[in-house]
Amino acid sequence: MDTRVAVISIIVEKKESVEKLNSLLHEYGQYIIGRMGIPYREKESVSSASPSMHHRMT
């Protein structure tokens, strides 16, 4: 059985969206093996999140 790993990049432009994004990532937490969030301090309204996910192929 193969395992696939993917890294997804998400750009957040509205701070109001962060809570909804975190809720969505929590909902799919069984597939997420790690995540990294980076605030872009020079542009207060932009942040990025990069969850790493795995999926077993049958």
Q: Per-residue pLDDT tens for 11-45?
A: 888 888 888 988 998 998 888 888 888 777 676 66
Q: What is the pTM of this model?
A: 0.66
| Structure confidence at residue 27 (pLDDT) | 93
| Structure confidence at residue 9 (pLDDT) | 86
| Structure confidence at residue 20 (pLDDT) | 92
The residue type found at 47 is S
User: Which candidate, 8, 15, 55, places its Cα nearest to that of 39?
Assistant: 15
Integer Cα distance of 11 and 14 in angstroms? 9
For the chain, list the domains and their CATH numbers.
2-57 (3.30.70.1150)
